[in-house]
Amino acid sequence: MSIFNTLNISASSLTAQRLRMDVASSNIANAETTRATINEDGEYEPYQRKMVSLQPNTPQFKSFLHTARYGTSSEINGTKVNGIITDQAPFKNVHNPTHPDADEDGFVQYPNVDPLKETVDMMSATRSYEANITALNASKDMLLKALEIGR
């Protein structure tokens, strides 16, 4: 195990939480976008909410081989971004006959984005980011103290 593993683990989590904040801010920015994409019929569709899928960074087979051969583990755990997925929840129908995107009944389809939910998700990502910064700083301080012992 390297002395930098804790720094690498915190760095992977910082990257993942930063992506969560970026996606949540993108969702908030597009909460009123009624013309985001064009479907296969050539019609505009509202913006669809995006979500980040995270998973633990599990060791791969080559790390088990490295452990068996050299007796030391080369794995670095942390957080891995699985991907950005699209929320399949239905769009919100709002009656607004004066809107340019209103259908013949006067309803407009708005994105399936709830600004309150996105704000909570952003606050959660921010708190996780801050916790990882604290862990990163603690690891850095421990490494510096270890260097001071050698003087």
Structure tokens at 36: 């985001």
- Residue 10 belongs to a domain: yes
> What pLDDT does residue 90 have?
95
% of the chain residues with pLDDT over 70: 91
pLDDT confidence bin for 73, thresholds 50/70/90: low
- Residue 103 belongs to a domain: no
- Residue 41 belongs to a domain: no
- Residue 134 belongs to a domain: yes
Tell me the residue range of the domain where 140 lies: 5-31+50-86+113-149
- Residue 78 belongs to a domain: yes
- Residue 17 belongs to a domain: yes
Rounded to two decimals, what is the model's pTM? 0.82
- Residue 57 belongs to a domain: yes
> What pLDDT does residue 85 have?
96
Please give the tally of structural domains in the chain. 1
Q: How far is CA 63 from CA 42, 47, 73, 79, in A?
A: 49, 41, 7, 17
Average pLDDT, the chain: 89
pLDDT of 30 > 80? The answer is yes
> What pLDDT does residue 58 have?
73
- Residue 119 belongs to a domain: yes
CB burial of 43-66 (b: ≥16 within 10 Å; e: otherwise) equals eebbbbbbebebeebeeeeeeeeb
